[in-house]
Structure 1
Amino acid sequence: MKSRMMRLIGKTIVSVLLCSCLTGILFLASCKSKTSSEQTTEQLQKLVSSPEFNGDSAFQFVKKQVEFGARVPNTAAHKACGDYLVSTFKKFGLEVTEQNFTPETYDGKKLNARNIIASFNPKASKRILLTSHWDSRPFSDQDSVSKLTPVLAANDGASGVGVLLEIARVLSSSGNKLNLGVDIILFDAEDWGNSEKASDKFGGFCLGSQYWAANKHLPNYTAYFGVLLDMVGAKGATFPQEGYSVSMADGVVRTIWSIASQLGYSNYFIDKAGPSITDDHIPVNETAKIPMIDIIHIKQNDPERTFFDQWHTAHDDLENIDPKTLKAVGQTLIQVLYQESETVL
């Protein structure tokens, strides 16, 4: 009887202990879950109020560039479009610097090139650098038929410039106060390269950004960080996190992709690692010592193509440009600028 009672008491104690342990485990799990949730919330930035980026307006800026024809250096279309870009920035009240230079291409041609630098709030000490290239490729080497035709470059060039022109227009609008400076650089002579024939590390590409990085428009110029736009206007574009951007400026990548997600653009800004692409952000990082990332259209799960279908073909035209894509990129950058503006004392 005593032995049976002891067994019953023992079972009761064990049951109580088990219940207590289980309750404790559930409580700890609950606390851990709550803490994790709270940490996730803390990691998300509270989005400040920012002005509207107009995707249709950006599209018109792309269209205007394309109407000049292919903007290949040493052509009349290139000269006329460059003049238009300079006058448009000036119309928006930005301070413009034209940086003329004469690079030599991998195949021995001398180019009459110019980088176009437009500065908003030029006296501000904290500065953000936004860039794209504005020239067109002189041949459609990826085209199955028209390999010698210059590329119209609606996406590979004009789309990034269109976004930056619209940002300049938004910043210049009365009432849109920003407590920092923004420098927009349109690099020239980016797309006259050949990775198979050129002997330099850039494959003959990125001549304008290499020149600017070694010869800044202001001797002691620096920026808090920079963003390069390349091929940012195609329908259904995807922007995974480009490899060099992650290795050279991971914090900038995480901030921008997080803001894009909060704005509802995670279908464009893919939270996945992408390949490393040699582009204009490399000399800015390595030579100018400014952390810069690349927002660039890279196809997902397509072993045949890295970039959009019309890349370096005669079909890179206005038909493939979507104002919704321009809006996603432009609104994200506007929000980034205004988030950074809040941190200026």
Structure 2
Amino acid sequence: MPGANDGASGVALLLLLAREIPQQISPNEKTIWLVFFDLEDNGNYPGWEWILGSTAFASSLTKTPSAVIVVDMIGDRDLNIYMEQNSTPELNQEIWQTAQQLGYEQFFIAETKYRMIDDHLPFVQRGFPTSLLIDFDYPYWHTTEDTLDKVSAHSILIVYDTLINWLRKQ
């Protein structure tokens, strides 16, 4: 599968954050980790486990993070991010409120819609405040049509702008 949105859009956002956080947020203010997980999706092969990379990482943490935000499939041209049901409601409220203040309420829809198995789940299971930002209404998920022409840099920038402004408030 090409994975332009399901895979590459989240990586693109993390790379943008890696470049911009040092310029936008004082290094003395907080510690921010950008973590790239592998082995999230097994392609539905029988006997293969899901979310192996994030499970290993969450298990290795010795301190409780103040927040864990996982981004997945955030590059859809028709961006619709709903509050995911396994995520921490208070953290979701903070992020969605930031999006609303920036005028992005049509992209960050303040309703819960899905309960997902994704890289956020090992952190939820450990009791860490966690939010999954995902546009799961992407019709090209797990198809050969998940190509660059379906991805929008503008959508990625909306999520970036929301997260960088949320980080400034922390």
- Identity of counterpart residues, as a percentage? 31
1:291 aligned to which of 96, 109, 129: 129
Question: How many Å separate the matches in 1 of 2:73 and 2:13?
Answer: 11
SS at 1:256's partner residue? helix
2:56 aligned to which of 190, 211, 218: 211
Question: How many Å separate the matches in 1 of 2:12 and 2:101?
Answer: 24
Question: How many Å separate the matches in 2 of 1:267 and 1:205?
Answer: 31
Question: How many Å separate the matches in 2 of 1:176 and 1:271?
Answer: 27
Alignment RMSD: 1.6
Question: How many Å separate the matches in 1 of 2:38 and 2:63?
Answer: 19
1:339 partnered with 2:165 = no
1:177 aligned to which of 26, 44, 47: 26
For 1:96-154, what per-residue CA distance to the aligned partner results, in whole angstroms no more than 9, with x for missing partners? Answer: xxxxxxxxxxxxxxxxxxxxxxxxxxxxxxxxxxxxxxxxxxxxxxxxxxxxxxx1111
1:229 aligned to which of 42, 52, 71: 71
What is the CA distance between 1:239 and its match in structure 2? 0.6
The residue identity in structure 1 corresponding to 2:89 is D
Which residues in structure 2 correspond to 1:219-298 (within 5 Å)? 220-245=62-87, 249-287=88-126, 289-298=127-136
Question: How many Å separate the matches in 2 of 1:339 and 1:214?
Answer: 28
User: Tell me, which stretches of 5 or more residues in structure 2 are unaligned?
Assistant: none
The residue identity in structure 2 corresponding to 1:158 is A
TM-score (norm 1): 0.47
SS at 1:184's partner residue? coil
| Higher helix proportion | 1
Contact (CA 8 Å) 2:86, 2:124: kept in 1 or not? no
What is the CA distance between 1:213 and its match in structure 2? 1.6
The residue identity in structure 1 corresponding to 2:44 is N
The residue identity in structure 1 corresponding to 2:166 is V
For 1:67-119, what per-residue CA distance to the aligned partner results, in whole angstroms no more than 9, with x for missing partners? Answer: xxxxxxxxxxxxxxxxxxxxxxxxxxxxxxxxxxxxxxxxxxxxxxxxxxxxx
Which residues in structure 2 correspond to 1:46-57 (within 5 Å)? none
Question: How many Å separate the matches in 2 of 1:259 and 1:321?
Answer: 23
For 1:187-217, what per-residue CA distance to the aligned partner results, in whole angstroms no more than 9, with x for missing partners? Answer: 011122428x34xxxx72211111112223x
1:160 partnered with 2:2 = no
Q: How many residues align?
A: 169
What is the CA distance between 1:164 and its match in structure 2? 1.0
What is the CA distance between 1:221 and its match in structure 2? 3.2
SS at 1:240's partner residue? strand
Map of 1:10 onto structure 2: none
The residue identity in structure 2 corresponding to 1:177 is S
User: Tell me, which stretches of 5 or more residues in structure 1 are unaligned?
Assistant: 1-150, 300-307, 341-345
Question: How many Å separate the matches in 1 of 2:41 and 2:114?
Answer: 19
- Greater Rg, structure 1 or structure 2? 1
Contact (CA 8 Å) 1:229, 1:296: kept in 2 or not? yes
Greater relative CO (CA pairs within 8 A, separation 6+): 2
The residue identity in structure 2 corresponding to 1:191 is D
Contact (CA 8 Å) 2:25, 2:168: kept in 1 or not? no
Contact (CA 8 Å) 1:193, 1:204: kept in 2 or not? no
What is the CA distance between 1:222 and its match in structure 2? 2.6
For 1:133-184, what per-residue CA distance to the aligned partner results, in whole angstroms no more than 9, with x for missing partners? Answer: xxxxxxxxxxxxxxxxxx11111111011111101101233x7425111001
Which residues in structure 2 correspond to 1:10-49 (within 5 Å)? none
TM-score (norm 2): 0.92
Question: How many Å separate the matches in 2 of 1:164 and 1:333?
Answer: 11
Contact (CA 8 Å) 2:42, 2:50: kept in 1 or not? yes
Map of 1:315 onto structure 2: 145
Question: How many Å separate the matches in 1 of 2:60 and 2:20?
Answer: 29
For 1:251-298, what per-residue CA distance to the aligned partner results, in whole angstroms no more than 9, with x for missing partners? Answer: 1000100110110111110011212111111111213x3221101103
